[in-house]
Amino acid sequence: MGLEQVRSSAALAAFLAVTMACATASPRQRPISKGPVATGPGTLTAARQYLEGRWILESFVINPPGRSSITMKGSGVLNYDAYGNLQMEIKADEASSDLLREAGINIPDGIISTGGRTVIDLQNRTLTYVLDGQPSSMQTGGGPLATNRPRHWEVDANVLTLTTRDTAGAPLAVSRWKKSS
């Protein structure tokens, strides 16, 4: 085989390799449009818009396992933004704070404070808190107020009721919030 034949064979091999590579490559794909975001009653967009704003605590009842219910006295504010971020601060009076501590709930300085984002589950009607950089049981010791427990939500006009349930479905905590803005 002469030098000319080797060059021809090498050129043919290179040409075939390039042709085969091009033939098996897929065409450039563009993003598929999934259409507009669903809006209106019963959609995730509607739920986020409903929650957005400032909420004032109306009532808070905690049912620690094996103990009597505690109706917490105090005040609270919940702020929820358009992106699902949540900031909540509840200030309990001294008597309520003492009862909560006796029930094993960590409430330093009579304040329950948390921030992060929420995940909305429309099908189960729950909110789950996702706290950046904090273990889910850090603030409350993992009891009835543990932030890793989903909050079941109900709405009635401008009142939001959040209920935390145990594994059997019994309410551990029920808070009622009234929208202020």
pLDDT tens digits, one per residue of 105-120: 888 899 988 888 888 8
Whole-number pLDDT of residue 133: 62
Q: Which residues of 67-93 are buried (b: 16+ CB within 10 A; e: fewer)?
A: eeebebebebebebeeebebebebbbe
Provide the pLDDT confidence category of residue 140 given band limits of 50, 70 and 90.
very low
Distance CA 174, CA 50 (A): 19
Residue 151 structure tokens? 């909050």
Q: Per mean pLDDT, which range of 45-54, 63-72, 109-118, 137-146 is the poorest?
A: 137-146
32 within a domain of the structure (yes/no): no
Domain assignment present for residue 103? The answer is: yes
In a domain, 115, yes or no: yes
pTM here is: 0.72
CATH of the domain at 91: 2.40.128.280
Asked if residue 30 belongs to a domain, the reply is no
pLDDT-derived band at 160 (thresholds 50, 70, 90) equals: very high
Asked if the structure places residue 15 within a domain, the reply is no
Pairing of strands 126-130, 151-156: antiparallel
| Average pLDDT of span 157-178 | 93
* Structural domain contains residue 26: no
Lowest pLDDT segment from 16-25, 39-48, 132-141: 16-25
What confidence tier does 181 reach under pLDDT thresholds 50, 70, 90? low
Which CA distances in Å does 13 have to 16, 22, 32, 150? 5, 14, 38, 63
In a domain, 94, yes or no: yes
Residue 160 falls within a domain, yes or no? yes
Mean pLDDT (the chain, rounded):
79
Can you give the pLDDT at residue 80?
Answer: 92
**Max avg pLDDT among 74-78, 83-87, 129-133, 140-144:** 74-78
Cβ 75 vs Cβ 90: under 8 Å: yes
Give the pLDDT of residue 2: 57
How many domains are contained in the chain? 1
SS3 127: strand
Q: Is the pLDDT of residue 123 over 50?
A: yes
Domain residue limits at 75: 44-179
